[in-house]
Structure 1
Amino acid sequence: MTSPVVIADDQPVVVAGVEAALNTHRFNVVARVNDTDTLIQTMAEADCEVLVADPFMPYGRHPDGVGLVRRIRDMRPDVGIVVMSRLGNLPSLRLMLDLGVSALFDKRASLRDMPTAVYAAHIGRTFLSPAVRRALRDMDYGNGLGGTSNPLTQRELDVLRAYAQGMSLIDISRLMERSIKTISRQKRTAMAKLGLKNDAQFYQYLANVRAGLVDDFMSAGYDDDPDVPTLLEEDDDDDEAYVATKRRGGAARKARASRKGRT
């Protein structure tokens, strides 16, 4: 008995390669799609048991990435999903696992392992390409989830939550009465602990938090022990001086404006 499979990727050559790999085993490819709109329509109509897809497809009106996976899981909870992707956005891949994706397949890996990944998704088991497994393990250790003492600090959590609320760097600096330099360093340190390599990944992560795809930054853990020093404590004196300077500057500007108003 064959298992019906849908393959989705914006590159037709990738779809053809996956289909060739599956045809040597007991899988029947019933649909091939290259954009998010066609994929949503296909999943609503096709009789399939496994979806093999790169969810980061730039074409179509429907959102790609984590949002696309969540939509498909809501539509078809009965379908096993194999996500094939490069390892450029590990936090998103981690979220996809949390949403119920069965397999994460490294696009750089040989397709000879694709039938194993599809079979795992078909029977409800998990498959991770070796490179994916190593990358997620390293990210977990970086987040403090792998037994290291490098979790997010309470200050870093406060900065992340402020960014998630749409505040700017300057706004956060004023709210927390810390220098821009300190807030910026807290942001960079938190990004490193979360496995986020650039601002694009950082703001995508924040979007996922606002969309409810991540419950909270607390999932990365944090250190609430006041006796444990952080990298930011060394700037406390500078921060207080910075805030005092800003307050004096603000008071001076108000005084000048008042004098001009009386003249």
Structure 2
Amino acid sequence: MQHRMKVVVADDHPVILLGAEQALMKFPDVEVVARAGQSTELIKVLQTVPADVLVTDLAMPGGQYGDGLPLISYILRHFSGLRIVVLTMLENAALLKRLGEIGVIAVVNKSDDLAHIGLAVRHVMRDLPYASPSVRASLATLRMNAGGKTDEVILSRRELEVVRLFVSGMTVKEISTQLNRSIKTISTQKNMAMRKLGLERDSELLQYAQGNGLMNLSSGGRERQTAPE
């Protein structure tokens, strides 16, 4: 009898959780063995339930282990034999690129047909990359905007500090007051960070910060995407 791939599904939206599970049930070689709604529950499941693949939402706040890239990095470090398929609504190309840089080879956008989840599971079990159509389009846009360059994005400490405060809800004027820098300097640092990340709109910056876990970090915390000033 053919081995069925054991899959854990994690998402903080019950409707998406159910939809992903139903989509996977259409693949006879896939078996959903557990579900989770946030990171605390997810890590407990992974510690107790044998699984081949994790299909997980990227933005899944509320748990002890956070969400976004910090959670994915934690799972990659502590569950080395587990394959990961990221399921997300975020379309920011820089964020998708970061997922690839930390070791995620399969990403499915929730706006695409959910059948792509099962296809992604089959691919990662063979150690092959997979991207659903919307994800491929976003990555293609990033390559075009970058002129083919693939260098990792490095933000200075001050740029990252400004980004964190901005996505926390502060205005450029409020940030300038708190950091004791001119409004022009803060605006320049914010715009420089966005250019480095390939972002054009504030909404894209919020998406990027959400996916990278920057929303959950204090302005004094450390982030590995920084460089000396």
TM-score, normalised relative to structure 1: 0.65
Secondary structure of the corresponding residue to residue 128 of structure 2: coil
Question: Taking structure 1 as reference, are residues 201 and 122 closer, same or farther at Cα in structure 2, changes over 3 Å only?
Answer: same
The worse-fitting range, judged by mean Cα deviation, of 23-32 and 93-102 is 93-102
Inter-partner Cα distance in structure 2 for 1:76 and 1:133: 27
Question: Taking structure 1 as reference, are residues 200 and 107 closer, same or farther at Cα in structure 2, changes over 3 Å only?
Answer: same
Cα deviation for residue 18 of structure 1 reads 1.6
Secondary structure of the corresponding residue to residue 59 of structure 1: coil
CA RMSD of aligned residues (A): 3.4
Cα deviation for residue 20 of structure 1 reads 1.8
Is the helix fraction higher in 1 or 2? 1
TM-score, normalised relative to structure 2: 0.74
* Contact 2:91 2:138 (8 Å CA) reproduced: no
Q: Deviations over 1:80-130 (max 9, x none)?
A: 100010124443332222221121101000012221111111111110112
* Contact 1:7 1:32 (8 Å CA) reproduced: yes
Question: Taking structure 1 as reference, are residues 157 and 146 closer, same or farther at Cα in structure 2, changes over 3 Å only?
Answer: farther
* Contact 2:159 2:192 (8 Å CA) reproduced: no
Alignment counterpart, residue 81 of structure 1, candidates 60, 65, 84: 84
The worse-fitting range, judged by mean Cα deviation, of 73-82 and 85-94 is 85-94
Inter-partner Cα distance in structure 1 for 2:32 and 2:61: 23
Q: Within 5 Å, which residues of 2 pair with 1:20-169?
A: 20-25=22-27, 26-142=29-145, 144=146, 146=148, 160=159, 163=162, 169=176
**1:6 matches 2:12:** no
Inter-partner Cα distance in structure 1 for 2:208 and 2:228: 12
Secondary structure of the corresponding residue to residue 67 of structure 2: coil
Question: Taking structure 1 as reference, are residues 71 and 190 closer, same or farther at Cα in structure 2, changes over 3 Å only?
Answer: closer
Inter-partner Cα distance in structure 1 for 2:5 and 2:184: 56
Question: Taking structure 1 as reference, are residues 33 and 217 closer, same or farther at Cα in structure 2, changes over 3 Å only?
Answer: farther
Secondary structure of the corresponding residue to residue 28 of structure 1: strand
Cα deviation for residue 4 of structure 1 reads 0.4
Question: Taking structure 1 as reference, are residues 90 and 147 closer, same or farther at Cα in structure 2, changes over 3 Å only?
Answer: closer
User: Higher relative CO (CA 8 A, sep ≥ 6), structure 1 or 2?
Assistant: 2
Inter-partner Cα distance in structure 2 for 1:162 and 1:58: 21
Inter-partner Cα distance in structure 2 for 1:67 and 1:163: 20
Alignment counterpart, residue 225 of structure 2, candidates 209, 214, 222: 214
**1:18 matches 2:17:** no
* Contact 1:139 1:194 (8 Å CA) reproduced: no
Cα deviation for residue 74 of structure 1 reads 1.1
Inter-partner Cα distance in structure 2 for 1:145 and 1:194: 14
Which residue identity does 2:159 align to in structure 1? L
Question: Taking structure 1 as reference, are residues 165 and 6 closer, same or farther at Cα in structure 2, changes over 3 Å only?
Answer: closer
Which residue identity does 1:160 align to in structure 2? E
- Unpaired runs of 5+ residues, structure 2, are 166-174
- Please name the residue that 2:169 is paired with: none
- Unpaired runs of 5+ residues, structure 1, are 219-263
Question: Taking structure 1 as reference, are residues 33 and 200 closer, same or farther at Cα in structure 2, changes over 3 Å only?
Answer: same
Percent sequence identity over aligned pairs: 32
Cα deviation for residue 145 of structure 1 reads 5.1
Inter-partner Cα distance in structure 1 for 2:213 and 2:50: 35
